Amino acid sequence: MIRVLCLSGPNLQLLGTREPGIYGTETLEQIHERLRAEGAALGAEVECAQSNHEGVLCDRIGAAPGVYNGLLLNGAALTHTSLALYDALRAVALPCVEVHLSNPEAREPYRRASLIAPACVGKVSGFGGESYLLALRGLMGHLRKT
């Protein structure tokens, strides 16, 4: 069975109440429940975790080889600032899809540059919680192809 690790970064534990005009009203746990169900339907086991701490996310990525076949990563604000996440992704060489609820390119200029994108096989953004499901489908297609 394919195993996928989904990591979400800073402040995403506040989904549901955090700026609902941008991020919607769905909670992160609701997104994770849908993601696990979609994974099961696609023949994958999906484990989900969230942390506000860059090092914790790097530790999870670093421990992923041999346990997971691929990653989904919503780095949140760390997307635009973290060379550490980029380095961790490059070091493990697992396929990763970058995920965002909103469309960073349609927001503030400082959100338009992703430091993690060059270490990812793809990116899905702008579809709210559905972005995670679309990212999983894309990752599964990539894993089955390679």
Choose the catalytic residue: 23, 68, 86, 132: 23
Tell me the backbone φ, ψ of residue 54, rounded to 5 degrees: -55, -45
Known catalytic residue at 23: yes
37: tokens are 């169900």
Backbone conformation region of residue 70, classed left if phi is above 0, alpha if psi is from -120 to 50, else beta: beta
Known catalytic residue at 100: yes
Task: Tell me the C-alpha to C-alpha distance, in Å, between residue 44 and each of 25, 53, 54.
Answer: 27, 27, 26
Choose the catalytic residue: 32, 68, 86, 100: 100
Active site residues: 23, 100
